[in-house]
A and B are shown apart, each in its own frame.
Chain A
Amino acid sequence: MSENDQLSLDALRSGDRDEFARMVEAYSPRIYRLALRMLGDAQEAEDVLQETFLNAFRSLSRFEGRSSLGTWLHRIATNQALMRLRKREVPTFSVDEPVDDPDLGELPRQLVDWCCLPEEEFMTAEAQSQLDAAVEKLSPALRAVFTLRELQGLSTRETSEVLGISESAVKTRLLRARLQLREHLTAYFAERVQEVGYER
């Protein structure tokens, strides 16, 4: 994660408004994107964005700086988003999914090569909505790791700090998430391969 060295922790802790506004300016786009990717809903993402900085403002005086500011803000936002995901009424995932078991279980089933599709096939509105739908099918635990590592570009260590899990758990969950997304996208793109009739 790119750090913002310009920000003064001392000023932030003492409640300096201008410094706080600089922090908001520096991190709000990333925090908003994180919430949007986690929740898939613009209104909820905006709520999480606001709550994250309100929460940060209230607890900055107690921020010890053991993790970086960016990691700390990601943790607040991720917790908010996870709380909302878990509150959603109809869970589409198994709550007891053994996400950290290094044994991945079944081998991937769908093995159609769709990489060869023309590039414009991946840019259609339908293809893009499939990307969203695939993420929405991930359990909150997998979705959090995927969003932080893959989409927000946090390192394995930073992600483990944000979520309070081990680095090996981050790696296992990331692979699981990627495999599930691949499986979902394969179901869609394999059909496109047939329709376009484009095979290697």
Chain B
Amino acid sequence: MSGSKQRCKDLLGALSDYLDGDADERLCAEIERHMADCPDCRVLVDTLRKTIILYREREAGEGLPSDVQTRLYRRLNLEDLLPGT
């Protein structure tokens, strides 16, 4: 890491809040000021953000497979109440 490594380390603990939009204005400004001077932290934040996005994108639109659903209702003795029957 270039610049002051200690500074990078201090900000590391705040990155989740920063990426989730939970950091206050002062902290955001501080992180952004540091990133302007520290390419390493900029790459870290960018790749961390991308990592989060890749996992979130995958979650959309996955339902319960119908065979899994059927077996669940059978196990619970709810076959007569299976949706769509």
Contact = CB atoms under 8 A, between A and B. Distances in A.
Interface of A: 17-18, 20-21, 24-25, 28-29, 32-33, 46, 49-50, 53-54, 57, 102, 104, 107-108, 111-115, 122, 128, 131, 150-151, 171, 174-175, 178-179, 181-182, 185-186
B64 interface: yes
Contacts of B54: 122, 131, 185
A190 to B, nearest CB: 9
Contacts of A115: 46-47, 49-50
* A-B pairs, 7 with minimum CB distance: A21-B81, A175-B16, A29-B64, A182-B51, A113-B43, A115-B50, A50-B75
B78 A111 contact: no
Contacts of A33: 59, 62
A165 to B, nearest CB: 16
Interface of B: 1, 5, 8-9, 12-13, 15-17, 40, 43-44, 46-52, 54-56, 58-59, 62-64, 68-69, 71-73, 75-76, 78, 81, 83
Nearest to A130: B54
Nearest to B56: A150
A182 B48 contact: yes
A33 B52 CA distance: 17
B59 A178 contact: no
A112 B40 CA distance: 9
B55 A107 contact: no
B55 A151 contact: yes
A181 B5 contact: no
